[in-house]
Amino acid sequence: MEVLKVNIQNAGYYDKKNAIRDINFSISPGELVGLIGPNGAGKSTIIKSILGLMDDLEGSVDLPLNNSYAYIPEHPTYYDELTLWEHIELAKVVNEVEGDDYYKDAENLLTIFRLQGEKHHYPGSFSKGMQQKLMIIIALLIKPKLYIVDEPFIGLDPKATKDLLNLLEQERQKGAGILMSTHVLDTAEKICDRFMLINNGQIIAAGTLAEIQDVSVKNGSLMDCFYELME
């Protein structure tokens, strides 16, 4: 059974009602699907549609039971008046996370991402990468069935990027599905099971790398195929 099923005829904004059109795909448990496309192609509109943030939408989006999903945004969002640890405490309450392992897991993730020293500091004083780590930690603590991840590598140093990839792989092994929008094509090629290439609000190619190569550059890299299909 899919953890995400999207059937959107069109969705958009007050000045552009059909910013995206004919967006149909699903994600299975344990699957990582890459959402690839240039700036302005419609990737953010697709994500907003999945999150229920679009007023003008024709179609349907089926999320996991009890809306068990976590969103890691490209631009970190946080409360200026709350410390890092208070954000973690708030996430537990808001998401009704039960069990005694929550805070143990939180401490472990703080150690992995080297944020123990900032535990009681305010995220407003953090670098972009540190703020992004906070978003990642909160998402992982929720333990959802679906992760929606938007440009997760921006601002992360190489070690944090590797740590994130390892943790997402662990979540996949537990059965979580992942939708990841990214411009880092060499990394996406290594970790994604399938890809959706978006341009001008539509899916122009979808499938495994081999399937995308069949309609673009034979034996080409994901970047080769991307440039061929975007011309």
pLDDT at residue 17 tops 90: no
Where exactly does CATH 3.40.50.300 map onto the chain?
A: 1-68+146-231
pLDDT value at position 65? Answer: 78
Q: Is 139 left (phi over 0), alpha (psi -120 to 50) or beta?
A: alpha
> Is the model's pLDDT at 86 over the cut of 80?
yes
Least confident range of 57-66, 160-169, 190-199: 57-66
State the pairing for strand pair 16-27/4-13.
Answer: antiparallel
For position 118, what pLDDT does the model report? Answer: 97
Q: Between 128-142 and 158-173, two packed helices, what is the crossing angle to 10 degrees? A: 10
Domain boundaries 1-68+146-231, corresponding CATH code: 3.40.50.300
Q: Looking at residues 101-113, what average pLDDT do you find?
A: 97
Confidence bin at 55 (pLDDT 50/70/90): confident
